[in-house]
Amino acid sequence: MQVNKFLWMAGAAFCVVSAWAVETRFWQHYDAGDYENAEFDKVSLRSDGRLTLAPSFQEVYETSAIYLWALAEDSRGRVYAGGGAPGSSTAKLFEIDDAGKGKVLAELQGLEIHALAVDRQDRLYAATSPDGKIYRVGRDGKPEVFYDPKAKYIWTMAFSPAGDLYVATGDKGEIHKVAPSGQGSVFFQTEETHARSLAVDSQGNLIAGTEPGGLIFRISPKGEGFVLFQTGKREVTAVAVASDGSIHAAAVGAKAPAALPALPNAPPQVPVAGQTAGRPGAPPPPTFTPAPSITGGSEVYRIDAEGSPRKVWQHASDVVYAIAMDANGQALLGTGNKGRIYRIDSARLHTRLVSSSSAQITAFQVSRKGGVLVAAANLGKVLRLGPAIEKEGTVESDALDAGAFAYWGRARFEGDDRGGKIGFETRTGNLDRPQKNWSAWSAVPLEAKAGRIGSPSARFLQYRLKLTAGSGTASPAVTLSEFAYLTKNVAPAVEQIEPTPPNYRFPAPVAPSLTTAPQTLSLPAVGQRRRGSSGLSIDTSNTSMNYSRGWAGARWKASDENGDTLVYKIEIRAMGDQNWKPLKDQLRETRYSFDASSYADGEYQVRVTASDSPDNPPAEALTASLESEAFLIDNTPPEISGLTAAVEGGSAVVRWKAKDARAVIEKAEYSVNGGDWLPALPVSKLADSLEHSYEVKIDRGTGELSVAVRVADEFENQAVAKTALR
């Protein structure tokens, strides 16, 4: 995708390097993924990258409980919260008044309160787990047992329009119906382990979610059940019914085989978010074996009034604990383990509204006073979401790494201030994370949504976007933030030069050879030494060369911090000479071969000069050079001397000497009467010197013997001599 000249994206951090170093580059944030590492304060992020001020999110009351699982509000605006803490013998029920003052209204037998409900007479009902009961709690805080479902868990409760209380339980998956008198019985058997979530629609039908099948039921007032949808997850943790009859349901956890039983005498388990006994994040009671950890993320489905399901949200790691419909009929999702609240805006879009300092958002209660009450766990708090928006909020980006020292240009945004204000601040530094040794924050003077960055030139930049509401109720909105920069040109570097083996070239037609040398060989990576005496059996880096008698060459490694395209000039000189002679200019490859057969024997060097001129104007182009170590050119064959043949002890003995001025004599052979060439070893056994003596014994036989010998140095220069024995 191109914006202006180029557009680069790499998550939320950095754009990749342009193909042209002299082009201005742009760091852009316009997709939700671009903000993955940003810090949000009172700003919401929509899934398409749109930023707005968040709904107000204020703490109402911080309880003494680690976990809160349930909320309720009566007609007078009194708020009730229920939860628990590991190791406690009682579950606490809190009451919070209009001023936000709270108290412990009652302590009930059980580890936790997972469900609260208020009837039309403002009577409060609280259900405890495990092995709990439903209590009716008076205004004086005195509890009395209202109903005992004789179930391991009581997960949630809901009143019908007729005033009957429905109770979802586990571990038999039963839903009980309890009359106002406290008389009740099993109303519906889900045939699942847990009836985990519950809601009542306008027709008096129950909507229930289960575990472990991940089923969503609709159950008529007569107790007739119908599976609306089977999710792909294990547990339906929350359901909610909208005013249009549609249903939102959250399903979590991968369907997997049951966990192995706990080992005997296992130590007590510390509550960990995501480890549950049927409810994600619940602390396992000491009296039962906890269920396996929740894995597999979450999915939220919308089932329309006709019963057609559609997935409208999913997350790989956030676990949905609660769903509620806000005043606009949009579904709110309470999640962990980052304490986030999402809003489903449509089948395509959702918004991450706010994040809590608590790890889990566990319950919602639409408030009569406006907004939505929120229960949080780790630590247990009651908060209020909305209905107003925040007056001011910020988004602080992670650090942009320009890759090199950079000049910073114009900042701009796309969006609408809607009567409010949108502003930028920036700071820069040369450390890879913002800290005190960066520059101070500097405001960007914006005019027509753009302005010049005033922070000093440096490698890294961080920005802070500030949204301020106007006098109305609408929030400013930003859909794109962009920052222009230009990296300072840095000279390239030629890091290493390596001569190539003699008699090979890049690439060349295969030349006929009288030797047994391979026609191709593979070189190791630059900087890796060849193994073995011949160096012709390398297979670590497939830079192929072809055999070509008399050729020499070099290859090199070069780099450029700016990512510029490089061209090379290669030159040669004999050791001791002052002047370099050109071999090739404007090379694009990092290798070159040349015919060295016309060069005088001796030691030489090559010099490689790299230039970034293809990507920079002439005045800005930079070069760097490196000289190779000395390497040998040798076109002269060894000398053979003292070749004799004599009969000794019934055998013919052939002797000779070979000598080379510069190169090791690597190979010697002999042939009798025009036969095959046979190898000959030096008298010393080792072919490791410039001069060797040879001696071979041959079966004398009868008649004349004609013996030819040949020697070759490491450059494959050969010499041949003959003798005869009559």
* CATH number assigned to the domain comprising residue 196: 2.130.10.10
Question: In terms of domains, do 174 and 247 share one?
Answer: yes
Residue 6 lies in a domain: no
Between β-strands 591-595 and 79-84, what pairing exists: parallel, antiparallel or unpaired?
A: unpaired
Question: In terms of domains, do 447 and 510 share one?
Answer: no
Residue 604 lies in a domain: yes
Question: In terms of domains, do 499 and 588 share one?
Answer: yes
Question: In terms of domains, do 613 and 684 share one?
Answer: no
Residue 484, CA distances (Å) to 126, 407, 425, 461, 481 in order: 59, 9, 14, 11, 10
Q: What share of the chain is helix, strand, coil (3-state, %, to 5)?
A: 0, 50, 45
Q: What is the model's pLDDT at position 541?
A: 42
Alpha-carbon distance of 53 to 42, in angstroms, equals: 6
| Best CA proximity match to 566, nearest among 583, 582, 587 | 587
Neighbours of 56 (CB within 10 A): 17
Residue 278 lies in a domain: no
**CATH number of residue 411's parent domain:** 2.60.120
Residue 337 lies in a domain: yes
Question: In terms of domains, do 664 and 595 share one?
Answer: no
Neighbours of 247 (CB within 10 A): 25
Q: What are phi and psi of 277, to 5 degrees?
A: -115, 70
Residue 77, SS3? Answer: coil
Alpha-carbon distance of 250 to 238, in angstroms, equals: 5
Question: In terms of domains, do 202 and 349 share one?
Answer: yes
Residue 238 lies in a domain: yes
Neighbours of 617 (CB within 10 A): 9
CB contact at 8 A, 704 and 717: no
Question: In terms of domains, do 554 and 626 share one?
Answer: yes
Residue 10 lies in a domain: no
List beta partners, residue 545: 521
Report pLDDT digits (tens) over 218-245.
Answer: 999 999 999 999 999 999 999 999 999 9
Residue 34, SS3? Answer: helix
Question: In terms of domains, do 35 and 141 share one?
Answer: no
- How many domains are there within the chain? 4
Residue 71 lies in a domain: yes
The parent domain of residue 663 ranges over 639-725
Q: Token pair for residue 108? A: 């009930």
- Start-end of H helices in 80-130: none
CB contact at 8 A, 141 and 108: no
What residues in the chain have per-residue pLDDT under 70?
Answer: 1-22, 256-296, 508-519, 527-542
Alpha-carbon distance of 591 to 464, in angstroms, equals: 48
Q: Which of 389, 407, 430 is a domain's end point?
A: 389
Question: In terms of domains, do 120 and 227 share one?
Answer: yes
Residue 73 lies in a domain: yes
Q: Which of 337, 357, 389 is a domain's end point?
A: 389
Q: Which of 633, 666, 684 is a domain's end point?
A: 633
Buried-state track 555-581, b at ≥16 Cβ within 10 A, e below 16: bbbbebbbbbbbbbbbbbebeeeeebe
15-20's contacts with Cβ under 8 Å and 24+ in sequence apart are 17/403, 17/562, 17/563, 18/563, 19/565, 19/615, 20/615
CB contact at 8 A, 628 and 497: yes
Q: What is the model's pLDDT at position 528?
A: 57
Q: What is the model's pLDDT at position 507?
A: 82
Question: In terms of domains, do 465 and 541 share one?
Answer: no
Question: In terms of domains, do 304 and 325 share one?
Answer: yes
Q: What is the model's pLDDT at position 527?
A: 57
Question: In terms of domains, do 330 and 411 share one?
Answer: no
**CATH number of residue 679's parent domain:** 2.60.40.10
